[in-house]
Structure 1
């Protein structure tokens, strides 16, 4: 076993299970293979194992002797991961395992997302099911499908599928913090239709590439003020069209609604005599971006290369409407919570802008812990693109999770943490969406909480999980299960 093998780490059972998960391709919507893997895992332990109609997996384990009078616990995680990779990497998330390895104090992957979100939480639940020496009440491991693309597993949960009294979600990403609330969200799906027009005679085609941005989770990292590749690209395009007779042929920016876009690519045409001017203009913009994002982004690359002429161009009126609406669209943090000024209340992620020769698709993810603010920002996004002549649909809305500071499991976990580590954990509301809000609509009487180890840069190829906090997360979970309140 080499020095970078994560299976040498402690707790051994958890890391072995996480390693096994990295062997199973599990991007969102590829649920059959990972669902079957989890189903076989439960059955191999001789435990009651169920799969519902949409693919959620439930495994039940009876209480250990002497713990039968404690409240039953649902250990909840999701099985899918965000498939993000750097453009220079050959990796097929549909078939290839994740190259997870040790990097100092962290476990990370090679130029792809790691899947610690939510693979570590899932591996912990699996390890509890395997354990023979951990005292615990009756356990249900409940694993949802397609959380990352719309929380479809949580939405599709049927009444009476779960029997537990307490739900412990293990999908938050800062050790030492207990999460009791989260933001709700809604998708903005925007569409421009067009028919390509001919390229001006004598024009040449140039590919503009913006790469090297950090990206990240559009809920967890939105407050870090990282660059949004789509916003930067269209800032350049507006000037290129206005000042250099550029015309837009195609655009490809971002890839996932809940990931801050790290890369964007555009093909433009310009008069042949203007090529050198554009090359210089791109260099000027690269220097500008580097200067503006100093201390935030350290690998910005903005380049241009000549390519073959495309089949046609986006019509000028559609091009201009697109550029103006992307430029005007709100992006990033819209408001912090007044009572908690470091916690984001409302935000928008201008996630995707893609053309295919007849359609331009724009996708935004609007989040807020205040329903009326979510609706207000969604209305702003809708107004911007409607004025530009696009078709706008606001879809996939999901509720936030309202905090309950009188929660019995919250009080118990605070006490356990204080006794174990001598400090009080932070009580938090997360701006990212957790499934607790949706699950609470199905099971309104269920007591819920969320916690996890320290994960940095989820939803990006820089994703990493801190090794020491995984051990601490596991120890805290074990101690919590030993101290679940009586029925």
Structure 2
């Protein structure tokens, strides 16, 4: 599978990316890939070990004569976001990622996420380890687990384990940019058991579907005005309340760190309310398409009768309270940064919402450059959903990465970028959860930067990477490692 990747340059990097594409690796299922990498390291005579969580470290001794150079750590995560189009069945625990080279100079996947996030960073680190022409100091590669689902690998990273004092995070997605800070975040989990009641005489079940949104990364793309399927379908449900609609079930979104592209609900309506309700839904489709014009062009909204009837639906009051709470829940950009103009400071993604048998579940991802703001927004969820008797908890909280504009590593990177590419890189802070903040908390003396090739559509089936930017990224990485050894 994916033999065409072997024809791309740099060959070693794309060879390793092919291995990654052919090895299923959604969050929590990285064991097979770890075993492959350990066997590969053994074949090259490279030392490797794991910490208690399972994060993998592979080490390579310095080029003779450069043993005293500062140790460099190349860091990336092994897991990928598992997203596929609804009409494309794909088992991310068993099926490889099928890639294609487009006529546009970009590499795409067929109907799924590509895994360039962070597969290309991992592939580059592996290619560095086997590059016998490279002059380097002591090298370590750190490959973490479960970054996309919980930041688990970084949160459980062993302390006093890593030896290097310079860290190159290879998990950024913008050409010509280098990142020195990122947002922290936390998962907000809301759960409740809501009362149900049997259907009344004359009530019938209908399926409400919202599909066709582009989705994307819940941090990097949160400010782009794209539709959130959960936010929009709840808006439709709110508009159907005057018709006496009661919720039976709901399913929207699959990952808390991906903008939900689709959402579905089963509801019941009285026979004589179905026709006007369908007219309202048709009008809402036109309204939403108009609002999203030029941003999210593919929205489709349907309300269709079901052949099967459920036994029960939420009570009218419970349905109204739930829809109201979801309707006012924080979603999208909360505040833009004053300190870092043009960067989102605080946001929230209504990532996963479900209702089945009266059991309600919500998982939202709150992000902020200020840890205090992350916790405050999470507390607003608690205050809101307590009003309907729901329980709220915060999980997987991780700190942000505080920028250090005086970093010697940054200064060196900027100089090399000018010399190699003829331009000054943009020094930026990203509204996404890089692992640098967590690692820096465990290794406070470590100097870190993050850079990578140009990736777009991460966390969605539109994920793609610009091929020319990969070659540029590779040259920059090799040059930086050699410069650090010789400097």
Q: Shorter-chain TM-score: which interval?
A: over 0.9
Name 1:390's counterpart in structure 2: 390
Q: For residues 422 and 67 of structure 2, what CA distance do their matches in structure 1 show?
A: 29
CA distance in 2, matches of 1:340, 1:185: 18
Q: Write the mapping of 1:448-463 to structure 2, written as runs, cut at 5 A.
A: 448-463=448-463
Residue in 1 aligned with 2:97? 98
Count of matched residue positions in the alignment of Structure 1 and Structure 2: 485
1:194, CA displacement in angstroms?
2.5
Cα deviation, 1:125-182, whole Å, max 9, x if unaligned, reads 0101111111121111110000011111111111222111111000011011111000
What stretches of structure 1 move > 6 A for 4+ residues in a row?
none
In the TM superposition, 1:36-435 aligns within 5 A as 36-103=35-102, 104-241=104-241, 243-307=242-306, 308-435=308-435
**Pair 1:18 & 2:14 matched:** no
The answer on whether the counterparts of 1:69 and 1:486 sit within 8 Å (CA) in structure 2 is no
Instruction: List gaps (5 residues or longer) in structure 1.
Output: none
Contact 2:213 2:229 in 1 (8 A): yes
Q: Distance in 1 between matches of 2:4 and 2:287?
A: 41
Question: CA RMSD for the aligned pairs?
Answer: 1.5
Q: Secondary structure at the match of 1:379?
A: helix
TM-score, reference length from structure 1: 0.97
DSSP 3-state at the match of 1:340: coil
| Deviation of the 1:486 alpha carbon | 6.4
Can you give the 5+ residue segments of structure 2 that lack an aligned partner in the other structure? none
1:44-73: CA deviations, max 9, x gaps?
211001122211111001112333221110
Given that 1:21 and 1:119 are in contact with CA atoms closer than 8 Å, whether structure 2 keeps it comes out as yes
Bigger drift between 434-443 and 477-486 goes to 477-486
- Alignment-derived partner of residue 480 in structure 2: 480
With normalisation by structure 2, the TM-score equals 0.97
**Cα deviation code 1:3-45 (max 9, x no counterpart):** x922211111111110110011000011211221222221121
Structure-1 separation of matches of 2:278 and 2:474: 53
1:471 alignment counterpart = 471
Contact between 1:209 and 1:302, CA under 8 Å: does it hold in 2?
A: yes
* Structure 1 residues 325-379: Cα deviation after superposition (integer angstroms, max 9, x where no partner): 1101111111111133311111011111101214110111111001222222222
Mapped partners of 1:211, 1:128: distance in 2? 42
- Matched position secondary structure for 2:119: helix
Residue 101 of structure 1 and its aligned partner are, at CA, apart by: 1.2
